[in-house]
Amino acid sequence: MYGIFSYDIGLPRLGYRHHNAVLDLEVVALLGFFNDLDIDTSVFAQPSLNAFMALGRTVHRQVGQRVRDLLADSEATLLRVHDQVLLPLERVTMHLPVQIGNYTDFYAGIHHAENVGKLFRPNAEPLLPNYRHLPVAYHGRASSIVVSGTPIHRPAGPFLGPDQQPVFGPTQALDLELELGLIIGKANRQGEPVPVAEAEDYIFGVALFNDWSARDIQRWEYQPLGPFLGKNFASSLAAWVVPFDELEPFRTAGPIQEPTLLPYLQSSKPSHFDLNLEVWLQTGDLPPQRISHTNTQHLYWSFAQMIAHHTISGCNLCVGDVLATGTISGTQRDSYGSLLELSWNGARPLTLADSSTRTFLHDGDTITLRGFGQTDGHQLTLGDVSGTIQPNT
Amino acid sequence: MYGIFSYDIGLPRLGYRHHNAVLDLEVVALLGFFNDLDIDTSVFAQPSLNAFMALGRTVHRQVGQRVRDLLADSEATLLRVHDQVLLPLERVTMHLPVQIGNYTDFYAGIHHAENVGKLFRPNAEPLLPNYRHLPVAYHGRASSIVVSGTPIHRPAGPFLGPDQQPVFGPTQALDLELELGLIIGKANRQGEPVPVAEAEDYIFGVALFNDWSARDIQRWEYQPLGPFLGKNFASSLAAWVVPFDELEPFRTAGPIQEPTLLPYLQSSKPSHFDLNLEVWLQTGDLPPQRISHTNTQHLYWSFAQMIAHHTISGCNLCVGDVLATGTISGTQRDSYGSLLELSWNGARPLTLADSSTRTFLHDGDTITLRGFGQTDGHQLTLGDVSGTIQPNT
């Protein structure tokens, strides 16, 4: 996994995560280990992954292989040369890994969409008519995306009070959303859509993503143009980005998609992934408690379909864009990706280990999203994303 | 007005519009005319206004005054020194004036919102219940904003065909939206809302903005999370940005806002502006034809309220962000800011000078938005924004 780290007085730069250590790629480059790769090694001294991502998949594979070779060398040639090249995680500060130009949030978790429909439109079909025809998405706020570990200030805003009159105050319905973020590593030209068969080439990698939401603010504001203040105060991105190639062992067919899709969304290749995802809540002196576990297979739409759809209008993706999947929920009550669903909008609050309950998040609560893949002979751990709720003051 | 221009082999840099000429601010700086202002004059050699905008209102006022003094000098000292400092507009190429980090589109034109409500919810109140309580807005796509003059490719996408089944093809309902864009010149920290009384300090200037829309695509996709493909293929921004100070003579009280607003939106200062806006359509061999004329006074929400609302959640604005007003329509049929309204969704197509009709835009049509202020002793012309529709090929 790649990330941006700093330590002591050094500037932020690229690191490669190796167990609980960070390989300093700027130093590795300075020591000459990439000299034969014909790349501009200044990309490793940058404060974001963007320049490295823009070098393309071939270079990423070469660098990844070289780094794995170096780390696998039992003689630790590298470490003998320079004892500061592999740094313990606890010594470094992590930064937002990507300079994010644009952020798009999809709604590809079909069970989440169904649950939201059941909660808010109880007398209608849970899924709106367009849901199985196109990957619904909206543009989100890029500027307020923060790196894992950044405190999350409880936002204030307008919402409807008990008497259905607008009131102002700190949100009373602060929620998490369990999502996966696709980090775009390749740009398309405006006016030139990306075919679904080529769409995965545009993904540099993936990172867990928590799209914090203020449900009361969102509910009052969102008609007719979608969420705004209810989402734009903060989203949290993992510090570590997993290169897309590393998802390959976990590729799977995904759900049957009916009715038949328009051709621009049709793909014969298995384009879904089998990654386990978890939500952990920690509060007070209690140990962290897992409150949900689900899987990316519950996404109705594949990553490739999201990209093909996003660009079919001619919209241009840029290196550093984040495309998030939307909330990923399973079919069971303990597999939902938001507190809105886990508590069924307050009808059945969660009970924590100290017998306190949660409908939405309290100040001081820490939410951590975890992810891992496990299949015959392959194991993959995604970088966590966590955030602690700060009071609105 | 400020913009980014280039000519011959020179790199894009800052220019100041003077009638039909461009004052080359990089050269003015190199000639020493800003030396006493204590600013980093490298900002004038940048390919966007961002660095200059970030210097703050005091510097903008100093630079503006110096430039006006130079241009008013009848001896033309400046021109005697260097004959390439004032370039005819037709010799230069204009570029996108701002590096746009984030783009937000409001819905502040109340008559537009009413018209859309009447067209799409004929049996309900035209305005949704939240409309007069908060400035409805959504996040738009920043990457696809282009400078005035850039051709607009007709987008393709999914929409409902005549039998209400999804079909794919070039949009059959390509529309314009007459808007004003606020160019943000000052950032707030995440978690620190901007009070309404200070909000105007965050506006560097304004520029006309055309938020092209594909109505058929938009109508099929927009529930429940808002517009996406129907908007993200392109928006056009004027090449010239009018500094906010220049709007001062046109300040006015704006509409009465009832019911009473929540305190974070309350302002006692007149915060609206009296600017005339026009939509011109040119096609084939016909001369340009004015198809609409309206005024920014038809905005229900002020610029200051938009900024206060945007940030009340703690969302951070960045230098270079664009906040667009949403479509500005008047109350009369010839004052609507979109073809959706002007043609009443096809019920009463526009008739052009050659007796052809328009419900939505044809390939080859050129739309130009114009704006000007006129009051006792003060006149102001905004920079045009135009675009010509290219076929989808």
Sign of CA dihedral A121, A123, A124, A127: positive
Q: Decide if A109 contacts A277 (C-beta within 8 A).
A: no
pLDDT for A77 equals 66
Scanning the structure block, which residue is given the tokens 């932020």? A12
Put simply, the answer to whether A225 touches B221 (Cβ < 8 Å) is no
For residue A137, the chain B residues in CB contact (below 8 A) are: 225, 228
pLDDT for A248 equals 97
Of B128, B220, B316, the CB nearest to A223: B128
What CATH number was assigned to the domain covering residues B103-390? 3.90.850.10
ipTM: 0.97
Question: Is A269 annotated for ligand binding?
Answer: no
Sheet containing A86-88: give its strands across. Answer: A86-88, A21-24, A13-18, A2-6, A93-95
Put simply, the answer to whether A143 touches B318 (Cβ < 8 Å) is yes
Query: In angstroms, what is the C-alpha Rg of chain A?
Result: 21
- Closest chain A C-alpha to B135 CA, distance in angstroms: 9
Q: Which residues of A118-136 are buried (b: 16+ CB within 10 A; e: fewer)?
A: beeeeeeebbbebbebbbb
Nearest residue in A to B160, CA atom: A130
Question: Is B90 annotated for ligand binding?
Answer: no
Q: Decide if A214 contacts A318 (C-beta within 8 A).
A: no
Q: Decide if A96 contacts A4 (C-beta within 8 A).
A: yes
Of A142, A229, A317, the CB nearest to B101: A142
For residue A313, the chain B residues in CB contact (below 8 A) are: 155-157, 214, 217, 229-230, 232-233
Let me know the angle formed at the C-alpha of B285 by B347 and B231, rounded to the nearest 5 degrees: 50
Top residue of A50, A106, A168, A232 to mutate, by most chain B CBs within 10 Å, is A232
Sequence letter at residue B51: A
Neighbours of A81 (CB within 10 A): 13
Q: How many Cα atoms are found within 13 Å in the side-chain-facing hemisphere of B214? A: 31
pLDDT in tens, A189-231: 999 999 999 999 999 999 999 999 999 999 999 999 999 999 9
Of A139, A228, A318, the CB nearest to B232: A139
Q: Decide if B361 contacts B172 (C-beta within 8 A).
A: no
Q: Decide if B179 contacts B209 (C-beta within 8 A).
A: yes
Distance CA B251, CA B234 (A): 31
For chain A, the structural domain boundaries read 2-95, 103-390
Q: Decide if B335 contacts B118 (C-beta within 8 A).
A: no
Distance CA A243, CA A61 (A): 9
For residues A33, A38, A44, A50, the Cα torsion angle rounded to the nearest 10 degrees is: -150
Show the tokens assigned to A23. Answer: 């390989």
Show the tokens assigned to A231. Answer: 């989402």
- Closest chain A C-alpha to B46 CA, distance in angstroms: 19
Put simply, the answer to whether B137 touches A225 (Cβ < 8 Å) is yes
Q: Decide if A363 contacts A389 (C-beta within 8 A).
A: yes
Give SS3 for A231.
Answer: helix
Put simply, the answer to whether B133 touches A166 (Cβ < 8 Å) is yes
State yes or no: cis peptide before B224, omega within 30 of 0: yes
- Closest chain B C-alpha to A235 CA, distance in angstroms: 11
Give the number of beta-carbon pairs within 8 Å between A and B: 185
- Closest chain A C-alpha to B300 CA, distance in angstroms: 16
Question: Is A327 annotated for ligand binding?
Answer: yes
Question: Is A138 annotated for ligand binding?
Answer: no
Q: Decide if A292 contacts A334 (C-beta within 8 A).
A: yes
Put simply, the answer to whether B134 touches A214 (Cβ < 8 Å) is no
Question: Is B107 annotated for ligand binding?
Answer: yes
Query: In angstroms, what is the C-alpha Rg of chain B?
Result: 21
Nearest residue in A to B326, CA atom: A225
Put simply, the answer to whether B101 touches A217 (Cβ < 8 Å) is no
Put simply, the answer to whether B158 touches A191 (Cβ < 8 Å) is no
pLDDT tens digits for chain A (393 residues)? 999 999 988 999 999 999 999 999 999 999 899 999 999 999 999 999 999 999 999 999 999 999 999 998 855 666 655 567 999 999 999 999 999 999 999 999 999 999 999 998 999 999 999 999 999 999 999 999 999 999 999 999 999 999 999 999 999 999 999 999 999 999 999 999 999 999 999 999 999 999 999 999 999 999 999 999 999 999 999 999 999 999 999 999 999 999 999 999 999 999 999 999 999 999 999 999 999 999 999 999 999 999 999 999 999 999 999 999 999 999 999 999 999 999 999 999 999 999 999 999 999 999 999 999 999 899 999 999 999 999 998
For residue B105, the chain A residues in CB contact (below 8 A) are: 225
For residue B168, the chain A residues in CB contact (below 8 A) are: 262-264
Tell me, rounded to whole angstroms, the distance of Cα B45 from its chain centroid. Answer: 24
- Closest chain B C-alpha to A174 CA, distance in angstroms: 12
Neighbours of A105 (CB within 10 A): 28
Distance CA A165, CA A161 (A): 5
For residue B310, the chain A residues in CB contact (below 8 A) are: 229, 232
Q: Which of A112, A272, A309, A310 is catalytic?
A: A112
Q: Which of B19, B95, B111, B112 is catalytic?
A: B112
> For this structure, is B112 an active site residue?
yes
Please provide the DSSP assignment of A117-145 as one string. Answer: HHHH-TTS-SS-TTTTTS--EEEE-STTE
Q: How many Cα atoms are found within 13 Å in the side-chain-facing hemisphere of B250? A: 21
Put simply, the answer to whether B141 touches A315 (Cβ < 8 Å) is yes
Residues near A323 by Cβ (< 8 Å), separated by ≥ 6? Answer: A103, A104, A106, A181, A182, A184, A303, A306, A307, A310
pLDDT tens digits for chain B (393 residues)? 999 999 988 999 999 999 999 999 999 999 899 999 999 999 999 999 999 999 999 999 999 999 999 998 855 666 655 567 989 999 999 999 999 999 999 999 999 999 999 998 999 999 999 999 999 999 999 999 999 999 999 999 999 999 999 999 999 999 999 999 999 999 999 999 999 999 999 999 999 999 999 999 999 999 999 999 999 999 999 999 999 999 999 999 999 999 999 999 999 999 999 999 999 999 999 999 999 999 999 999 999 999 999 999 999 999 999 999 999 999 999 999 999 999 999 999 999 999 999 999 999 999 999 999 999 899 999 999 999 999 998
Nearest by Cα to A225 from B53, B112, B63: B112
Show the tokens assigned to B233. Answer: 């293929």
Residues near B346 by Cβ (< 8 Å), separated by ≥ 6? Answer: B359
pLDDT for A262 equals 98
Scanning the structure block, which residue is given the tokens 């793909």? A267
Assign domain B2-95 to a CATH class. mainly beta
Put simply, the answer to whether B144 touches A314 (Cβ < 8 Å) is yes
Distance CA B359, CA B125 (A): 25
pLDDT for B48 equals 98
For residue A309, the chain B residues in CB contact (below 8 A) are: 229
- Closest chain B C-alpha to A369 CA, distance in angstroms: 23
Q: Decide if A190 contacts A366 (C-beta within 8 A).
A: no
Distance CA B333, CA A41 (A): 61
For residue A165, the chain B residues in CB contact (below 8 A) are: none
pLDDT for B75 equals 58
Residues facing B18 on adjacent strands: B21
Distance CA B358, CA B168 (A): 22
Neighbours of A362 (CB within 10 A): 16
pLDDT in tens, A95-105: 999 999 999 99
pLDDT for B224 equals 93
pLDDT for A73 equals 80
Of A130, A142, A228, the CB nearest to B220: A130
Question: Is A114 annotated for ligand binding?
Answer: no
Put simply, the answer to whether B232 touches A312 (Cβ < 8 Å) is no
For residue B220, the chain A residues in CB contact (below 8 A) are: 130, 134
Q: Decide if B12 contacts B4 (C-beta within 8 A).
A: yes
